[in-house]
Amino acid sequence: MISVEEHLAAILAAVRPAEPVRLPLSDCLGLVLCEDVRSLVDLPGFDNSAMDGYAVRSADVEGADPAVSGSAVTLPVVGEVAAGGVATVPVGPGEAVRIMTGAMVPEGADAIIRVEDTDGGTGSVEIREGAPVGTSVRPAGEDVRAGTVVLGAGSVIDARRTALLAATGHGHVLVRPCPRVAVVSTGAELVAPGQALRAGQIHDSNAHMLEAALSECGAVTTHRLAIGDEGSEVLRVVDELAGQVDAIITSGGVSMGAYDVVKEALRETSTVDFVQVRMQPGKPQGFGTVGARSVPLFALPGNPVSSYVSFEVFVRPALRTMMGLLPAGRPVLRARLMHQLGSPAGRTQVARAVAVRDDSGWHADPVWGQASHFIADLSRANAFLIIPPDVTELAAGDEVEMWLLDGAEGRLSAWEAKHGHTAPDSVGRAGPALTHVRADGSAQMVDVSAKKVTAREASAAGRVLLSPDAVAALRSGDVPKGDALAVARIAGIQAVKRTPDLIPLAHPIAVHGVKVDVDVADDAVEIRATVRTADRTGIEMEALTAVTVAALALIDMVKAVDKHARITDVRVVAKSGGRSGDWSES
Ligand code: AMP
Ligand code: MG
């Protein structure tokens, strides 16, 4: 086994910056400039006006002062010039030319009077306020002189530098091109997303993930292939691609199984090494160069999280090196763990986490599923936590190294910034085996006849996140459909009586009392339901159903005002009575 650092070093030693090419400006975003670029023009290119107004000789309007009555000066308007036009009429003594922003200043004029300081006349103009020589005139060459170097070789081209290159006359520049990459998925089980699955098949997520990750780091996917588990096919495809692309990424077929075709086939080429890296996830890795052009080939593991982590840790730095950028591209920060985290001895763990920042710094909440098949948890994460091989146990509050995957601003929409992630990690996860399922798989309602009848009460709460417009409409009673809060309350009460019909294994029980409260808060409606019974089984499901159905009824009432209304935090907050005793949330 080799360390993460050793494997990365071997990769970086084998890749070279791409040969520069001349590309149109619109294809240069994020690329490294490979020449010193000199301006082809003066900026501004000629003396021009900073204002809409009148070009004059300053001396002619010297005495004009709005504070002194009778001091205004009236001049004949002898011409007009707009941006893009040529100032053909000079401004003689005692004359004015009407002028627009960006237009050439006519000969003879030495100041521009803003239209606001005049009567706006066209035949003649009354000027109420004078201006010193040079006022609102943008002199030629003030910003950049023709011939000066405006951007040096090695600069990364971003939007602001693109403005400079365009303004100084460059339609094409010499840059290191973005790598053209082929992505090859292996595995007989793979089917393209959007197609129906047969037994044993899965959708190919790696190919699409890699294409997206390549695009994020400035590379372009020229080929996206899914091949089966035939070694000969792997060799044929790699041989063909090696003549056409700058890098090849395969996924799958590199571990210890019976169909690890990538490893078996490419090993024979002897230019690709297969190694075990002391990393979790992503232990099996292949890397080498193929074909006459020594194209780098990355053979990544097939598990989706392993594939993604491998891309970030090994492929991204290599591609950045090929682009002439620094290999390290992610902001590396220190963060405090929000929960304890175990880590395997002797392996660098790349744990996925949700990172948040407050006044005291960054905090990292490791996602629930750290195994390499948890794609939903990967998608929730916005950070990697890099846990060194010698650390096996970290406590809440411990400081860890963190790579921020989405940059400092993250990937929050305005909605998420306010309300949190769209997929809280309680949604969609399969739980432990059902207790109400018999060994043969059939459902059963537990026989409670032996249990004692006791007085029981349960409270549940939840909220519906709403836009400011929807909150305002609820407060002012302006929801077009009617009294949304009353409807929600009634719906919650009705739902309690229907709970056993909705929840398959819930017992029908005698409901003795129901209270549903619906309160409008700043950005949500808070719903709380308390339900009472005297029976043999608990009444928490009734309370939860009340909250959920009240929330649904509310959404139905306000959806015309807020189509993004969202139910969150539905939970039991208190219960009393029954064998498991009394309990409350706080
Ligand atoms: P392998 O290394 O080929 O045995 O793959 C390891 C695991 O990753 C298996 O469960 C594969 O089904 C899964 N896998 C391989 N390739 C992909 C892919 N392109 N997309 C999603 N899962 C994959
Ligand atoms: Mg496979």
Range scoring the smallest mean pLDDT among 168-172, 227-231, 534-538: 534-538
Q: How far apart are CA 347 and CA 280, in angstroms?
A: 6
Joined together, the tokens standing for residue 274 give 């297969």
User: 187: Cβ below 6 Å to ligand 1?
Assistant: yes
Relative to the CA of 185, which ligand 1 atom is closest? 19
pLDDT of residue 437: 58
| Closest residue to atom 15 of ligand 1, CA basis | 302
Query: What digits encode the pLDDT tens for the residues 6-40?
Result: 999 999 999 999 999 999 999 999 999 999 999 99
Centroid of chain to Cα 91? 56
Q: How far, in Å, from the CA of 261 to the mean position of ligand 2?
A: 8
pTM, entire model: 0.72
User: 257: Cβ below 6 Å to ligand 1?
Assistant: yes
Q: How far apart are CA 116 and CA 136, in angstroms?
A: 13
Quick one: pLDDT band at residue 256, thresholds 50, 70, 90? confident
Q: How far, in Å, from the CA of 1 to the mean position of ligand 1?
A: 22
Average pLDDT, stretch 96-117? 97
User: 206: Cβ below 6 Å to ligand 1?
Assistant: yes
Q: How far, in Å, from the CA of 198 to the mean position of ligand 2?
A: 17
Q: How far, in Å, from the CA of 270 to the mean position of ligand 1?
A: 24
Average pLDDT, stretch 253-279? 91
pLDDT of residue 419: 66
Q: What is the largest CA-CA distance in the chain?
A: 112
Joined together, the tokens standing for residue 564 give 């993004």
User: 193: Cβ below 6 Å to ligand 1?
Assistant: no
Which residues contact residue 218 at a Cβ distance below 8 angstroms, ignoring those fewer than 6 apart? 30, 31, 178, 319, 320, 323, 325
Quick one: pLDDT band at residue 125, thresholds 50, 70, 90? very high
Quick one: pLDDT band at residue 425, thresholds 50, 70, 90? very low
pLDDT of residue 407: 63
Q: How far apart are CA 411 and CA 327, in angstroms?
A: 22
In the 8-state DSSP scheme, what is residue 58? G
Average pLDDT, stretch 389-399? 97
Residue 462 pLDDT > 70: yes
Q: How many CA atoms lie within 13 A of 411 on its CB side?
A: 12
Which residues contact residue 503 at a Cβ distance below 8 angstroms, ignoring those fewer than 6 apart? 541, 545
pLDDT of residue 430: 56
pLDDT of residue 411: 65
Residue 450 exposed, middle or buried by CB count within 10 Å (0-12, 13-18, 19+)? exposed
pLDDT of residue 434: 53
Quick one: pLDDT band at residue 424, thresholds 50, 70, 90? very low
* Average pLDDT of every residue of the chain: 92
Q: How far, in Å, from the CA of 313 to the mean position of ligand 1?
A: 19
Residue 427 pLDDT > 50: no
Average pLDDT, stretch 132-145? 97
Choosing from 225, 229, 233, 251 the residue with most ligand 1 atoms within 8 A of its CB, the one to mutate for a pocket test is: 251
Which residues contact residue 566 at a Cβ distance below 8 angstroms, ignoring those fewer than 6 apart? 419, 422, 464, 465
pLDDT of residue 445: 75
Q: How far apart are CA 350 and CA 343, in angstroms?
A: 9
Show which residues are catalytic: 556
Quick one: pLDDT band at residue 546, thresholds 50, 70, 90? very high
Closest by CA to 260, choosing from 186, 371, 182, 183, is: 186
| Closest residue to atom 6 of ligand 1, CA basis | 302
Ligand nearest the Cα atom of residue 257? 1
Closest by CA to 229, choosing from 191, 197, 177, 185, is: 185
Pairing, β 393-394 against β 454-465: unpaired
| Closest residue to atom 14 of ligand 1, CA basis | 302
As a three-state string, the secondary structure of 429-452 is CCCCCCCCECCCCCECCCCCCCCC
Relative to the CA of 262, which ligand 1 atom is closest? 3
Are the CB atoms for 252 and 228 separated by under 8 Å? no
Write the single-letter amino acid at 88.
Answer: T
Q: How far apart are CA 76 and CA 69, in angstroms?
A: 21
Q: How far, in Å, from the CA of 371 to the mean position of ligand 1?
A: 14
pLDDT of residue 428: 55
Pairing, β 393-394 against β 399-404: unpaired
| Closest residue to atom 16 of ligand 1, CA basis | 302
Q: Which helix (H) or strand (E) holds 295?
A: strand 295-300
Identify residues whose C-beta is under 5 A from ligand 2, the ion. 187, 252-253, 302
| Closest residue to atom 7 of ligand 1, CA basis | 303
Relative to the CA of 205, which ligand 1 atom is closest? 20
Query: What digits encode the pLDDT tens for the residues 140-185?
Result: 999 999 999 999 999 999 999 999 999 999 999 999 999 999 999 9
User: 303: Cβ below 6 Å to ligand 1?
Assistant: yes
Write the single-letter amino acid at 526.
Answer: E
User: 202: Cβ below 6 Å to ligand 1?
Assistant: yes
Query: What digits encode the pLDDT tens for the residues 443-458?
Result: 777 777 777 788 899 9
Quick one: pLDDT band at residue 281, thresholds 50, 70, 90? very high
User: 302: Cβ below 6 Å to ligand 1?
Assistant: yes
User: 251: Cβ below 6 Å to ligand 1?
Assistant: yes
Choosing from 183, 184, 186, 190 the residue with most ligand 1 atoms within 8 A of its CB, the one to mutate for a pocket test is: 190
Q: C-alpha dihedral over 310, 313, 319, 324, to 10 degrees?
A: 180
